[in-house]
A and B are shown apart, each in its own frame.
Chain A
């Protein structure tokens, strides 16, 4: 179908996300093979979850917890009616994250995104979105590079 390259440079967000300790636990537990809302131990650590995510009384997020908030501007981009993408035909092609500051409970994280490339190859459309997520101190937490592939 071909997505118009004029949308390169489109910006999305800012979106904000407040990080909760229970959400960090749920995410780590779902990834580690558990059921998100069940099975936490007396110390708060899910079965199978790394003690390293519980440094004493302090909790840090799995680095890939950023999936939860960094996806927002990417989601806005691929659902932007101007691009006309059929979501059922969309698959996630590639993903890159650079991690800077750890994710901690109570953080307020603001994410923005920009379409940096649109191209067509082998009867598929490709859209690249770069996202940046910063915490309440203005420090960069994660930069993401998302590649959506849309089957035609």
Chain B
């Protein structure tokens, strides 16, 4: 059953970047850029190791909203800035809140922080058709 939304609704969604997550995501998405799957390439690029594909970090934000509204087809828009790479063993906590309902859409503003409290996304917004 698709969920009715109100301003102030919140959700929390937690995802861990386990050791193989960038490889699993590469297999599922086709994004095999070496900086995601090859520790040597990640280090050579000055990133300190392999980093998770940003689009997986984005997908987790969308997933959190889909889980909350219980209807994947209602997602109208997502917008994010990748402010910090997600590294192996990072845990990302997404907290979403409906800040407005306008023009037939509910606007979720989403914070996404790693276990140190650093933002991995900034300005993250997901809009849902109401």
| In contact, A27 and B78 (Cβ under 8 angstroms) | no
| In contact, A98 and B77 (Cβ under 8 angstroms) | yes
Contact of A36 among B27, B53, B70, B71 (CB under 8 A): B27
Q: Which of B49-74 contact A (CB under 8 A)?
A: 53-56, 58-60, 62-63, 66-67, 70-73
For A50, list chain B residues within 8 Å (CB). Answer: 66-67, 70, 72
A-B contact pairs, 20 of them (CB 8 A): A26-B27, A30-B27, A30-B28, A30-B56, A31-B56, A31-B60, A32-B63, A33-B15, A37-B27, A50-B72, A53-B72, A63-B72, A67-B55, A67-B59, A71-B55, A88-B41, A92-B82, A94-B79, A96-B80, A151-B46
Total count of chain B residues near the partner, CB < 8 A: 43
Given A26-B28, A88-B44, A60 contacting B72 (CB threshold 8 A): yes
Total count of chain A residues near the partner, CB < 8 A: 37
Given contacts A63-B72, A67-B55, A94-B82, 11 further A-B contacts (CB under 8 A): A30-B56, A31-B28, A31-B63, A52-B66, A64-B62, A67-B29, A88-B44, A91-B54, A92-B53, A95-B80, A97-B78
Q: Which of A12-34 contact B (CB under 8 A)?
A: 23, 26-27, 29-34
